[in-house]
Amino acid sequence: MTYVHEVPQHLQTRTPTGPPSVAPPAGDPSASPRRGAPGTGPSALAAELRVALMLSVRRIRAERTEDALPDSQYSVLAVLERMEPTTPGALAEAEHVQPPSMTRTIAALVEAGVVDRRPHPEDRRQVLVETTRAGRELLLATRRRRDQWLTKRLAQLSPHERSVLAEAASILRRVVTP
């Protein structure tokens, strides 16, 4: 993976409204016909989308409530809300982490008052975890704050640009859905 700051200056191009981008090698089929515009070939588009999506996610995550959890704990809380009640093992699998890491995260969430643990009704060796009312309120407040920020930003775009983004959102869902 190559980042713009790792690319020699003579291989970088400037887009009219954005940061430098890496110029594709001569003869690259993903190169854009217009100088400075992102390429539409799969490789060039993948690089452009990866950067744009990562920057977008980072910026949206910055919109937090005052009593915000660390990103990793918030992520677990959000996934738990969709799966609840569930076991720590199932939650670890969903978050692609090892069970001991999930156990520590759940303990922190319990201590924060946003998750409860209770005995599993069929297997005494297991516990079930679920969000508390405070956890659901935190999720709702954070989502509301993030949506408000994004709504303000989208309102600055033209109707055509918003239409393009609506279509892109639909396409992106198809791209990431297995």
Tell me: the pLDDT tens digits for 96-117? 999 999 999 999 999 999 999 9
Q: How many CB atoms lie within 10 A of CB 92?
A: 19
Tell me the whole-structure pTM to 2 decimals: 0.70
Over pLDDT 70: what percentage of the chain?
Answer: 79
Q: What is the pLDDT of residues 112-134, one digit of tens each?
A: 999 999 999 998 899 999 999 99
CATH of 66-178, one of 3.30.1300.10, 1.10.3720.10, 1.10.230.10, 1.10.10.10: 1.10.10.10
Give residue limits of the domains in the chain: 1-25+39-62, 66-178
Helix (H, G, I), strand (E, B) or coil at 119: strand
Q: Is the pLDDT of residue 149 over 70?
A: yes
Backbone angles phi, psi at 117, to 5 degrees: -115, 145
Helix (H) and strand (E) counts in the chain: 6, 4
* Residue pair 84/95 in contact by the 8 Å Cβ criterion: no
